[in-house]
């Protein structure tokens, strides 16, 4: 892994993207705690709280993403590439998390079975294992990932790519971040 640049080099509007269960929410919260930057978890904007992951109307979500991105400073974690334009237009840095789909799926199983209070969780939503999420993690998202990564890498912003939990742990250590 190449050297990790200082956290400050990513500025005050940081996008964190990566597959489901790659550690985006936890990292965003840790950076927010260390820097005082406000954290936005896109899942909390996309889905209706206290439901089994029911989508909010697309126009409402688009409005909320644009409003969050218009703030002076932020850490926005999540993907939702259909609605990436306002974030990408204002971001000052991007952190890309990645791991194997099997490891992401293992973390999904663990959080669904044992971690009822995970960071970034949708209030009142079920964390039960389901086929839709299994398919997303193991097949659908990995097939769509390449063009999305290319878009982010070509944005002209500082980009840090983290591959796997050992690199992510190193990032936490170098930046002096605390998990949880």
Tens of pLDDT along 160-174? 999 999 999 999 999
In a domain, 48, yes or no: yes
Which of 11, 25, 118, 139 is CA-nearest to residue 76?
25
In a domain, 39, yes or no: yes
In a domain, 64, yes or no: yes
Res. 18: pLDDT tops 90: yes
Res. 33: pLDDT tops 70: yes
In a domain, 1, yes or no: no
The mean pLDDT of 109-131, rounded to a whole number, is 74
In a domain, 3, yes or no: no
13-17 and 74-77 strand pairing: parallel
In a domain, 79, yes or no: yes
User: Considering its fold, how many domains does the chain have in total?
Assistant: 1
Q: Which residue has better confidence, 119 or 43?
A: 43
Q: What is the pLDDT of residue 45?
A: 95
Q: What is the pLDDT of residue 136?
A: 86
Percent of the chain whose predicted confidence (pLDDT) is above 70: 93
- The pLDDT confidence band at residue 130, using thresholds 50, 70 and 90, is confident
pTM: 0.92
Percent of the chain whose predicted confidence (pLDDT) is above 90: 69
In a domain, 2, yes or no: no
In a domain, 180, yes or no: no
CB proximity list for 96: less than 8 A, separation 6 or greater: 17, 18, 149, 152, 159, 160, 161, 162
Domain of 59, CATH number, reads 3.40.50.300
What are the CA-CA distances from residue 177 to residues 37, 103, 154, 173 (Å)?
14, 22, 28, 6
How many Å apart are CA 114 and CA 134, to the nearest integer?
17
Q: How does pLDDT run across 83-117, given as a tens digit for each residue?
A: 999 999 999 999 999 998 999 899 888 888 887 66
Q: 89: domain range?
A: 10-175
Evaluate whether 148 touches 79 at the Cβ level (below 8 Å). Answer: yes
Specify the residue for token string 């982010």: 152
């Amino acid at each position: 892994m190449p050297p990790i640049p200082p956290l400050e080099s990513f500025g005050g509007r940081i996008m964190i993207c990566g597959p489901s269960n790659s550690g985006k929410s936890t990292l965003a919260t840790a950076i927010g705690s260390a820097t005082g930057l406000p954290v936005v978890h896109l899942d909390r904007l996309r889905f209706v709280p206290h439901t089994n992951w029911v989508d909010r109307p697309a126009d409402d979500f688009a409005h909320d993403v644009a409003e969050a991105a218009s703030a002076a400073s932020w850490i926005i974690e999540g993907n939702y590439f259909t609605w990436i334009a306002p974030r990408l237009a204002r971001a000052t840095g991007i952190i890309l998390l990645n791991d194997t789909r099997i490891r992401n799926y293992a973390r999904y199983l663990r959080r669904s079975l044992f971690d009822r209070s995970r960071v970034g969780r949708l209030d009142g939503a079920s964390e039960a294992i389901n086929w839709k999420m299994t398919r997303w993690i193991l097949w659908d998202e990995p097939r769509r990932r390449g063009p999305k990564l290319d878009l982010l890498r070509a944005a002209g912003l500082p980009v840090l790519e983290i591959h796997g939990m050992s690199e992510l742990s190193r990032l936490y250590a170098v930046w002096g971040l605390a998990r949880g």
